[in-house]
A = this chain, B = another copy of it.
């Protein structure tokens, strides 16, 4: 079933990523929802606010680096705001802009949820790879996480 041709190796690794993502993501999202009542899209936003200076970011900044929602950040922030975990504030000096600010409730639920989420990942995902394999995967996929260009890509300047 697999493809042994050397020039198709990338297909096996791509399929592995697709399957691993589908299976682990689904399981841990269910667990998190049952535990904290929030989804991974919430975590993504709350976590970026949590790590930001003054625990706030503009809509545009949230939108740009989002993994999940590509155009619907307004709607997502609506829901998080309705849950009480963020609030919108005006940007001094630019009345078009909106700051999204983490509330104390948001900080609290994030810190609880991220712990639960990491425990879920540790349980569902961690035991399926050896330490060497984890290291190899982390290294191989590093550039996607940190948005560096491929090693031999031309550098624009």
Q: What residues make up the interface of A, taking CB atoms closer than 8 Å to B? A: 1-2, 4, 6, 9-26, 67-68, 70, 118, 121-122, 125-129, 131, 133-146, 150-153, 155, 157
Contact = CB atoms under 8 A, between A and B. Distances in A.
A141 B145 contact: no
A139 B2 contact: yes
Contacts of A133: 13, 136, 139-140
Contacts of A25: 18
Given A133-B139, A144-B128, A155-B4, A21 B17 contact: yes
Secondary structure class of chain A's binding surface, majority of residues: helix
24 contacts: A1-B146, A2-B151, A4-B157, A12-B145, A13-B129, A13-B134, A13-B137, A15-B138, A15-B145, A16-B138, A16-B141, A16-B142, A17-B24, A18-B25, A18-B67, A19-B144, A19-B145, A20-B145, A22-B67, A23-B144, A127-B150, A128-B143, A128-B150, A137-B141
Q: A-B pairs with the 8 shortest C-beta distances?
A: A16-B141, A12-B138, A133-B140, A10-B126, A13-B137, A136-B136, A20-B144, A19-B144
A5 to B, nearest CB: 10
Nearest to A26: B70
Contact of A122 (B10, B122, B140, B150): B10
A51 B155 CA distance: 43
Centre residue among A118, A121, A145, A146 by max chain B CB count within 10 A:
A145
B17 A17 contact: yes
